[in-house]
Amino acid sequence: MSNRLPGLVALFVALAPAVVGAAAPASATLSAAENAVLQADGPRALALLGALHPATAAEARKRVCMAARLQDRPSFPAARITGHPLPDAVLRAYRRYWSAAMTPAHRAAAEKALFGQLRRLTGQRAAATRDEVLDAVSARLAALGLHNRLGRTAELYDLLLYFREDERRYPVLLPDGQRETVRVFLMRDLVSGGWARHLNCGGPGTGGFATDEGLYAVADAYDLDDESFRVNFLAHESQHYADYKRLPGLEGPELEYRAKLVELALAEQTLMKTVRAFVDNQGDERANPHGWANKRVVGALVERLELAAPERLVDAAPDDIRAAATALLLKDNAERGVPPAGP
């Protein structure tokens, strides 16, 4: 089993002054700052946090925690460690890199520094490729009994590190009639849940991903009995799993477009929350497949439902949204030559 992610998924400190060049938002919300993190836009996230007027004590605490981690400063709560020298040195290297790489102009230098540090920690030669370095890090962590997944999630190199893993099997019926029985590996007792979850001080961030052998889920991110797990994770990732087999070579943005249509086609209690999340987190960069796919899904639905603007999607009838999402998925299937599912 590969430990590589699919290429695609403290102390109180003063907030930094607004970053030069970052837009000064007229109004700021915590969710807007979290979305800026998901889009790997650190300057905008800090500008939003600086303009935020917290409505609750919990929001105030998270505001300070996020600002600290975005600036690679001690945070409260402190980021978790293992207590073992090598994994904790790897964690520090990644967390320093994540903070630096959130500024796009610094990203290349931050990547170079990260891999230089990982080479030193694992005793790799200077000429070792990045894949060789990641394989060496993964092997060293696994030898210490730590489950790990390394690779890229959107724009940044990522690290998921956890102590326990449980396996379950789930039957899934997708909106186009495709049936899958998927293995789900539940990642438990996380030390690192990836760059977005770290910089967003617990979430939102990576909730799971699909590989050729099955699905991986951050167990603590879900109630395994509710719709969010069944639809937003299980059905979404099962669509990826099916598409890996039916449409080999399909790229991340298109995979996400199809899987997000599945969420909207199947969601009931979580439908409007999902719609709002898609509307609020849209982008044009294919390097951020989720934001790119959100914009295409929202645009396609607005056109099909003949709405005046994306913001009006939240006012559409739920049955209309589900029907439109299913129709768009079937249309995409036909355009890609995916045969109809059998009985």
Predicted pLDDT at 210: 84
Three-state DSSP class for residue 160: strand
User: Rounded mean pLDDT of 103-115?
Assistant: 97
| Beta strands, E only, the chain | 147-153, 156-173, 179-193, 208-211, 214-218
Tell me the pLDDT of the chain averaged across its residues: 90
Token pair 């509307």 in the structure block, residue: 279
Q: Which two tokens stand for residue 88?
A: 């904790």
**129-181: pLDDT as tens digits:** 999 999 999 999 999 999 999 999 888 999 999 999 999 999 999 999 999 99
Dihedral, CA atoms, 70, 192, 149, 8, nearest 10 degrees? -40
Strands 147-153 and 179-193: unpaired
Query: Rounded to whole angstroms, how far apart are CA atoms 9 and 281?
Result: 16
Q: Which residues contact 34 (CB under 8 A, 6 or more apart)?
A: 45, 66, 200, 204
CB 232 within 8 A of CB 270: yes
Instruction: Report the range of poorest mean pLDDT among 21-30, 38-47, 234-243.
Output: 21-30
CB 257 within 8 A of CB 247: no
